[in-house]
Amino acid sequence: MNRIRSYSYHKVPIGKGTNGTVHKGIDRKRKRPVAVKIVNNLAKAKSEAKIMRKYKKHKYLVTLYDFFISRGKGYLIMEWVPGQTLGTRKAVLWYGKKHSLKTAARYAIRILQAASYLRSKGISHNDINPSNIVIKNPKKYQIKIIDFGSSRQSTSQNLYSRDTYKTAIILAMLVTGKVTFRRLKKGRILRVPARFPNPAFQWVMRKALHQNPHVRFKQPSDLIKRLKRFAKS
Q: What is the pLDDT of residues 173-188, one digit of tens each?
A: 999 999 999 887 677 8
Task: Provide the domain count of the chain.
Answer: 2
Per DSSP, helices labelled H in the chain are 42-55, 101-120, 157-176, 199-208, 220-232
In the predicted model, is pLDDT for residue 9 greater than 90?
A: yes
What are 13-43's pLDDT values in tens digits?
Answer: 998 866 789 999 999 999 999 999 999 999 9
Looking at the structure, tell me whether residues 22 and 117 fall in a common domain: no
Check if the beta carbon of residue 49 is closer than 8 Å to that of residue 78: no
Looking at the structure, tell me whether residues 111 and 211 fall in a common domain: yes
* In the chain, % of residues over pLDDT 90: 85
More confident residue, 99 or 184: 99
Looking at the structure, tell me whether residues 99 and 120 fall in a common domain: yes
pLDDT value at residue 35? 98
Q: At what angle do helices 101-120 and 157-176 cross, to 10 degrees?
A: 160
Looking at the structure, tell me whether residues 183 and 106 fall in a common domain: yes
Looking at the structure, tell me whether residues 51 and 92 fall in a common domain: no
Q: Report the DSSP beta bridge partners of residue 199.
A: none
Structural domain that includes position 144: 84-232
What's the mean pLDDT when you consider all of the chain?
94
Band of the pLDDT at 113, cuts 50, 70, 90?
A: very high
Helix H or strand E segment including 186: none
Looking at the structure, tell me whether residues 103 and 183 fall in a common domain: yes
Looking at the structure, tell me whether residues 99 and 162 fall in a common domain: yes
pLDDT value at residue 171? 97
Is 13 exposed, middle or buried, given 0-12, 13-18 or 19+ CB atoms closer than 10 A? Answer: middle
pTM for the predicted model, two decimal places? 0.94
In the predicted model, is pLDDT for residue 65 greater than 80?
A: yes
Q: At what angle do helices 199-208 and 220-232 cross, to 10 degrees?
A: 160
Among positive and negative, which fits the CA dihedral 35, 38, 42, 43?
negative
pLDDT value at residue 18? 65
CA-nearest of 91, 80, 166 to 124 is 166
Looking at the structure, tell me whether residues 167 and 191 fall in a common domain: yes
Check if the beta carbon of residue 145 is closer than 8 Å to that of residue 118: no
Identify the domain boundary among 58, 79, 100: 79
**CA separation for the pair 233, 230 (Å, rounded):** 5
